[in-house]
């Protein structure tokens, strides 16, 4: 492949994240599969075709993010694509019944973790000729779908969408950034009753990672722009 990219995926040890890593590595890209548990990350990478580098990373650990960003920038020089995939659901609470601890635990991973990744990896991304950030969001966080239930999760994704839009303006002309709704996917989080296979859930993220001409500042599902 002439255009081999350095692509980092958080939460790459299972579900959609694992499938994203598998597909991108098979295409010939260098994939940095990040997992909170190193052994689970190494197990997930076993048998993947291509170059997969497994790194231990908890996106709620700011110091760990900083150290990894410095390490990878020194070793690789630049990062082409950052996929903020790590996410937690943590129950089906209403907004009024959600405890502060539950709210914080979800926001720390789904929103603040992604923001911290962008903050620390911005330097390595700026050195790419075609830098991209892809935030894994959810239609459950869209304004028109804030109907109740899973309140911390919904609000964390609404906030992630807002961050995506804000950064698309701040980074215009240097780094493209988009949010993706993968749909209801058969993963540990989505459950066996979900309507989509994991390959479909990964499709838009893989497309945004490698397609020559992509938008920025958009919310997408199935490679189509959807409402915020």
Whether the Cβ atoms of residue 217 and residue 177 lie closer than 8 Å to each other = yes
- The dihedral built from the CA positions of residue 179, 181, 182 and 186, taken in this order, carries a sign that is positive
Q: Give the separation between CA 200 and CA 211, rounded to whole angstroms.
A: 16
HSE-CB at 131 with a 13 A cutoff on CA atoms is 19
Whether 153 is a known active-site residue: answer: yes
CA–CA dist 58, 109 (Å, integer): 9
Catalytic-labelled residue, pool 111, 120, 121, 153: 153
CA nearest to 41, candidates 21, 24, 26, 62: 21
Which residues does residue 179 pair with via DSSP β-bridges, in sequence order? 135, 219
Contact 142, 227 (CB under 8 A): yes
Look-up of token digits 């989080």: 189
Nearest to 84 by CA among 24, 142, 136: 136
The C-alpha atoms of residue 156 and residue 104 are separated, in whole angstroms, by 10
Q: Which residues are known catalytic residues? A: 153
């Amino acid at each position: 492949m002439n255009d081999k990219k350095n692509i980092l995926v958080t939460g790459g040890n299972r579900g959609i994240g694992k499938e994203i890593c598998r597909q991108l590595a098979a295409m010939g890209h260098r994939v940095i599969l990040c997992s909170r548990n190193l052994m689970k990350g190494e197990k997930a990478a076993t048998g993947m075709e291509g170059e997969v580098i497994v790194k231990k990373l908890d996106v709620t650990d700011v110091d760990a993010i900083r150290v990894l960003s410095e390490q990878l920038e020194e070793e690789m020089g630049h990062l082409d694509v950052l996929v903020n995939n790590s996410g937690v659901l943590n129950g089906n609470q209403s907004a009024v019944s959600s405890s502060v601890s539950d709210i914080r635990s979800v926001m720390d991973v789904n929103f603040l973790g992604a923001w911290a990744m962008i903050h620390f990896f911005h330097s390595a991304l700026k050195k790419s000729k075609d830098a991209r950030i892809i935030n894994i969001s959810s239609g459950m966080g869209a304004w028109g779908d804030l109907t109740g239930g899973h309140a911390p999760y919904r609000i964390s994704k609404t906030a992630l969408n807002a961050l995506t839009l804000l950064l698309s303006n701040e980074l215009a002309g240097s780094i493209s950034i988009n949010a993706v709704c993968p749909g209801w996917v058969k993963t540990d989080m989505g459950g066996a009753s979900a309507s989509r296979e994991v390959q479909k859930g990964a499709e838009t993220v893989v497309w945004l990672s490698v397609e020559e001409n992509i938008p920025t500042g958009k919310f997408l599902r199935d490679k189509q722009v959807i409402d915020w």
